[in-house]
């Protein structure tokens, strides 16, 4: 197991890969004969291992949640929250962040080499679910000899994992922080994801998902899919304030036919994304989001499922989020209250749309910090 250790400021952090020569069985009945889980840790566990927190990444995220390692170009996706003296204070807590199965940042996924064929799995990597991710994170938890999570937290698809943890393993999750998430993907979510997947599949370099064998990359499809996705992460007010109808400076155009700044921005983001992300991973991750449904067929089913939860819940939504509007979070809170779960809900203003969960504000940080540090004895 390769380990790197680096001190940034006074925060201790490690980057590791857990390699297991055992089968992992996915929810759909398929399996892989061995697997790898890439993960980062921040801070130190105490002797009782009672200060451990799991943070779960969203769709295009990774285990890189905070700080910067030698090969990282920028800080982790929740760097504003995790670190010495920050909301999740690494002087007090030991934070674990795992790269999910199916991703392309170190854990087993479509880009990984299949031990049986000696080729990348590609399109043959099994479909994954949120439950599969939670199950794999539980394996890592046991390897690290962590008895319980003081808190499981995440935004968007990460928030779905936090909620699933509280349901699947109620005895080992003390608190769950569910941010900008849902208990069930909506028809609009599924529709947007399907359009993105079709953009990728229609790229001439997709080759039915076997583009590795053709030494090709469906860059145009992946870029366009990301442009669509990025629109859903923003808000109309944010785009109006940031871009308006301003024309792009000709000297900084990413392509000659660009007219507006918003066009240039989306193409730039799409192009950069297509250089680091994998097309089959995009398809797997969006399918996992579509399949997420802990509500059953009606509210009565959902309440029966929620009754399993023993953790305290903090549910946060953002007024400007139109990918997972606040009614998704209110629905979770309403049903949690009906079955007597200790839960709190707040809608924050947030100026970045769905992406607001990534950006710290005094109010946002205070709420999460107070929830984490609250102890009712």
Is residue 311 within 8 Å of 166, Cβ to Cβ? yes
The one-character DSSP state at 124 is G
Residue 297 exposed, middle or buried by CB count within 10 Å (0-12, 13-18, 19+): exposed
Let me know how many helices (H) and strands (E) the chain has, helices first: 10, 13
Q: Which of 203, 278, 321, 355 is catalytic?
A: 321
Between the alpha carbon of residue 349 and those of residues 61, 124, 178, 357, 368, the distances in Å are 23, 42, 16, 11, 15
Q: Which of 57, 63, 328, 354 is catalytic?
A: 354
> Structure tokens of 309?
């939860």
Q: Is 356 known to be catalytic?
A: no
Q: Is 156 known to be catalytic?
A: yes
Q: Which of 62, 97, 112, 156 is catalytic?
A: 156
Between the alpha carbon of residue 31 and those of residues 38, 66, 242, 274, the distances in Å are 19, 32, 46, 28
Q: Is 321 known to be catalytic?
A: yes
Is residue 77 within 8 Å of 118, Cβ to Cβ? no
> What residues act catalytically?
156, 321, 354
């Amino acid at each position: 197991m390769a380990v790197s250790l680096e001190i940034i400021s006074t925060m201790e952090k490690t980057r590791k890969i857990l390699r297991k020569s055992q089968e992992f069985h996915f929810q759909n009945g398929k399996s892989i004969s061995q697997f790898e889980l890439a993960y980062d840790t921040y801070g130190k566990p105490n002797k009782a291992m009672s200060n451990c927190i799991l943070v779960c990444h969203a769709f295009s995220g990774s285990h890189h949640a905070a700080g910067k390692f030698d090969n990282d170009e920028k800080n982790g996706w929740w760097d504003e929250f995790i670190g010495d003296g920050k909301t999740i204070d690494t002087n007090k807590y030991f934070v674990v962040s795992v790269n999910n199965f199916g991703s392309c940042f170190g854990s087993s996924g479509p880009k990984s080499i299949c031990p049986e064929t000696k080729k990348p799995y590609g399109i043959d990597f099994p479909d994954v679910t949120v439950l599969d991710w939670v199950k794999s994170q539980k394996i890592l938890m046991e390897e690290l000899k962590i008895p319980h999570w003081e808190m499981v937290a995440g935004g968007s698809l990460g928030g779905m994992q936090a909620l699933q943890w509280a349901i699947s393993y109620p005895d080992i999750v003390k608190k769950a922080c569910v941010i900008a998430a849902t208990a069930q993907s909506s028809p609009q979510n599924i529709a947007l994801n399907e359009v993105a997947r079709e953009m990728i599949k229609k790229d001439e370099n997709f080759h039915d998902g076997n583009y590795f064998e053709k030494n090709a990359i469906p860059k145009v499809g992946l870029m366009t899919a990301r442009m669509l996705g990025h629109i859903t992460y923003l808000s109309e007010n944010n785009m109006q304030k940031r871009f308006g109808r301003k024309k792009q400076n000709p000297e900084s155009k990413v392509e000659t036919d660009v007219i507006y700044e918003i066009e240039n921005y989306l193409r730039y983001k799409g192009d950069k994304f297509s250089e680091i992300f994998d097309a089959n991973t995009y398809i797997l991750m969006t399918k996992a989001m579509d399949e997420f449904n802990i509500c059953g067929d009606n509210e009565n089913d959902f309440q029966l499922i929620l009754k399993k939860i023993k953790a305290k819940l903090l549910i946060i939504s953002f007024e400007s989020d139109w990918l997972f509007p606040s009614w998704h979070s209110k629905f979770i809170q309403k049903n949690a209250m009906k079955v007597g779960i200790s839960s709190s809900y707040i809608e924050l203003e947030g100026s970045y749309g769905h992406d607001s969960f990534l950006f710290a504000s005094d109010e946002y940080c205070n709420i999460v910090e107070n929830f984490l540090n609250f102890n009712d004895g």
